[in-house]
Amino acid sequence: MEMISLWDYTGKGDVANRGKKVNEYATYKKQPFEKRKLDFNGTEVFLYTREFLDEYFKIEQIFNK
């Protein structure tokens, strides 16, 4: 199962604290995630499945209408 970051999924950095919202939703859904430390700056990022991120962004669109 491939795990990807929000950057990998959206091609953008964290917008409007989205990373925190995604992590809260993952915790609520008991969605497994991994962490990866970036080599270039030491920041730790969370990784999720593409299917989970697809679900999150569909739900986000509903709430942003």
pLDDT digits (tens, 9 = 90+) for 31-55: 999 999 999 999 899 999 999 999 9
pLDDT at 14 over 90: no
Of 52 and 1, which is predicted with more confidence? 52
- CB burial string 9-37: b at 16+ within 10 A, e below: beeeeeeeebbeebeebbeeeebeeeeee
Mean pLDDT of the chain: 93
Task: Say what the pTM is.
Answer: 0.87
- The pLDDT tens digits of the residues spanning 49-60 come to 999 999 999 999
Tell me how far apart the alpha carbons of residues 60 and 1 are, in angstroms, rounded to a whole number: 23
**What is the number of other CB atoms lying within 10 angstroms of the CB of residue 48?**
25
